[in-house]
Structure 1
Amino acid sequence: MAPTRRAALAATATLLSTAGCAVRSVSEGTDPTGDARVGLAGDVMLGRSVDERHDDRPPASVWGSMLPALGRLDGTIANLECCISDRGERWPDKVYYFRAGPEWALPALETADVAAVSLANNHALDFGATALRDTLDGLDRRGITAVGAGADRSAALTPAVVDIGGVTVAVIGLTDRMPAFGAGPERPGTAVAALAGRSRRTRRLVRGLLRRPAVAAADLVVASLHWGPNWTLVKHPARRAFARWLVDEGVDVVHGHSAHVPQGIEVYDGAPILYDCGDLVDDYVVKPDLHNDRSFLFELVVEDGTVVAVRLHPVEIRRSTAHRAEGAVARWLRDRMRALSARFGTSVRAESRGGVLRVPVPGA
């Protein structure tokens, strides 16, 4: 962390300790092996032909050859880009509707050691409030924490706090997509907020969430944002400014998704900003210029509660299944991520085996 941010957190820690709250630790260590490995995935879309292909197969089949990489993590946080229910009515006048059968989809998430999912997106209510409730109830039964949607706006905004590998991770889930899904005082829905520009309302909202004792006491604070348009490689400058503001306010990792393609990584003041993580699994038509069937599973290497590196496991989606990208595809992903991250002055290094990439986090 840069000195200014470390000083701000130290001041916050003093205030919290006087209130009897646990405080986060700040480590000067740089051990690349880390004490915990926290996975971050972009969109996990288990509906439509993904559902058709895997509903009568073993739950782990959807993860294909990515399952070993998922299994080596202590837990993963993902954007669940569908509802998990066999009930409900279609939301009117939408083009795409995504839902998966609970009999296979819930065990599939459990098999992949998914610890938490964000439902703050434009598909959580594709089949209305009934399917949203089913999704929330099913995840809860499986011990998977949901954030970003709920029975009312208060519930939708409530941060999730999960233990991943002995690291306490607080997750804030927000979206600027599909405002009609937004939860109200007595209406189920998603946590909708303006995530670009300088919205005073959003900044007051986020500051309030970050000041909650459970969030302030966490080792890591992750802002999981479903933001901006699909099919783009670059976030708008206003979103970059908002991401940096989040870090200035105490967020440790920005976990972006929505574009369906991975975007560049910026390391700002000792915090990785993943502008978009692409998709881990889906059934979307492949756009040749974007190769949206190619992405990464991101791994946060955590030491003493601080992210010291981000590892990128290359992914190729084939036949509605996640696979480890190899050969020419892995090299293409390496070159694409290097080019996109270079815009932020970020160094992306190749590890010696398996096409895995590494982004060191200076200042951690």
Structure 2
Amino acid sequence: MRTRRTVLASSVAGLAGCAVLPAGRRTNDGADRDDHVAADIDARLGFVGDLMLGRSVNERWTSDGVHPKDIWGSTRSRLQELDALVGNLECCVSDRGTRWPDKVYYFRADPEFAVSALEAAGTGFVSLANNHVLDYGERALRDTTQHLADAAIAHAGAGTDRDAALEPAVFEAGGLTVAAFGLTDQAPEFGAGASTPGTAFAPLNPFAPATRSLVTEILDRAAKHEPDLVVASLHWGPNWETEPRGVHERFGRWLVEQGVDVVHGHSAHVLQGVEVYRGCPIIYDAGDFVDDYVSYRDREGVFNKRSALFEVVVRDGDLAELVVEPTEIVDEAATLADDGVAEWVRETLAERSAALGTEVNRRSGETVIPLGDA
């Protein structure tokens, strides 16, 4: 079996594989949902799209008589089964700062609420590489990174300068050490400079020499931590599109060739398909998990309140499967989808994934995409 350390050591040469290093095993103690998954599991990692905790979400869940954990609604029990949750934090976490000039939308969450909510969900990592982390300027960005650090929530994709923004984060999930980094091709004005704060901005194109060099540098940094799993969290592409751009398909595959195990996409606010490339999942867009955005039901095929929790299962040192739990946003809370919405999510994901050559299976009431050699 080719281990994660082998892959990262050879990433510059373009070698790849999606076997991760066998680590200390963890028995799932009753969380297994049928005999098929009864084998020892190294980790269950949940991937979701946007976590927008600002604006009216913030107002609702900081009101008297509510608890920040309730933002996760009926998904909370499922989140508690995970070893870590990974998402895109589509806001800054601060009560300070000045609005970035000439923006239409500004998202900022109260620190006490946002941190408590993220902790209640078992959040292991959030990407800050997006077009809202600097909505309230440098002070709010610094507050965001500090609040996350104080809560031991790993984060990457933005920082006090470009070097800091590119630094991968490392966290533990079950029996695995995970390295994760964030990149975005949105809001170039937010891009960090050599001595200025901002995001890890880059053209997400595998044919761009500067981007290839940047990714190689990030993976070299990640390799120093000897991770078992490497995650790339990418805020890419325009809003409301139901399929990825060709350049992003090429970039996602190229990342896998360089040694990335899971490509975690977001930005469109709607579900896109999943591709399994060399045994690794490329989630082109996970949609929105929590937000207060308008529901674009007048756009054919676009239901931005409907998304999913994507659960990557690592078993016996290998990426085993991607379990899909349909969700929807109801009253600004993440909710397990009812039967009708759940079926729409399953059928839509299957259709959009089929266009990428991916088969989505049903098993004992679950929606499952095989990974690795399965």
Same fold (TM over 0.5): yes
Q: Distance in 2 between matches of 1:295 and 1:262?
A: 6
CA spacing shift, 1:257–1:215, aligned 2, 3 Å: farther
1:361 corresponding residue in structure 2: 371
Shift, 1:99, TM fit: 0.7
CA spacing shift, 1:216–1:108, aligned 2, 3 Å: closer
Structure 2 counterpart of 1:319, which letter?
D
Query: Aligned residue pairs: how many?
Result: 348
Structure 1 counterpart of 2:59, which letter?
E
1:342 corresponding residue in structure 2: 354
Segment drifting more, 215-224 vs 41-50: 215-224
Q: Distance in 2 between matches of 1:8 and 1:318?
A: 39
Give yes or no for contact 2:180–2:230 (8 Å, CA) kept in 1. Answer: yes
Shift, 1:55, TM fit: 0.8
Give yes or no for contact 1:220–1:305 (8 Å, CA) kept in 2. Answer: no
Identity of aligned residues (%): 52
Whether 2:203 is the aligned partner of 1:194: answer: yes
Q: Distance in 2 between matches of 1:282 and 1:299?
A: 20
Whether 2:86 is the aligned partner of 1:77: answer: yes
Gaps of 5+ in 2: 12-18, 24-35
Give yes or no for contact 2:71–2:332 (8 Å, CA) kept in 1. Answer: yes
1:93 to 89, 102, 105: 102
1:19 corresponding residue in structure 2: none
Gaps of 5+ in 1: 16-22
Partner of 1:261, secondary structure, is coil
Q: Distance in 2 between matches of 1:339 and 1:58?
A: 38
Q: Distance in 1 between matches of 2:188 and 2:242?
A: 23
CA spacing shift, 1:115–1:11, aligned 2, 3 Å: closer
Partner of 2:213, secondary structure, is helix
Q: Distance in 1 between matches of 2:70 and 2:371?
A: 34
1:272 to 274, 281, 285: 281
Shift, 1:11, TM fit: 7.0
Give yes or no for contact 1:117–1:145 (8 Å, CA) kept in 2. Answer: yes
Partner of 1:169, secondary structure, is strand
2:113 to 104, 126, 131: 104
2:221 corresponding residue in structure 1: 212
Partner of 2:314, secondary structure, is strand
Q: Give a deviation string over 1:169-195, Cα, whole Å, max 9, x none.
A: 110110000010111111111100111
Q: Distance in 1 between matches of 2:204 and 2:139?
A: 27
2:45 corresponding residue in structure 1: 38
Partner of 1:35, secondary structure, is strand
Partner of 2:320, secondary structure, is strand
Partner of 1:330, secondary structure, is helix
2:27 corresponding residue in structure 1: none
Give yes or no for contact 1:42–1:257 (8 Å, CA) kept in 2. Answer: yes
1:324 corresponding residue in structure 2: 336
Give yes or no for contact 1:42–1:279 (8 Å, CA) kept in 2. Answer: yes
Q: Distance in 1 between matches of 2:126 and 2:10?
A: 31
2:59 corresponding residue in structure 1: 52
TM-score (norm 2): 0.89
TM-score (norm 1): 0.91
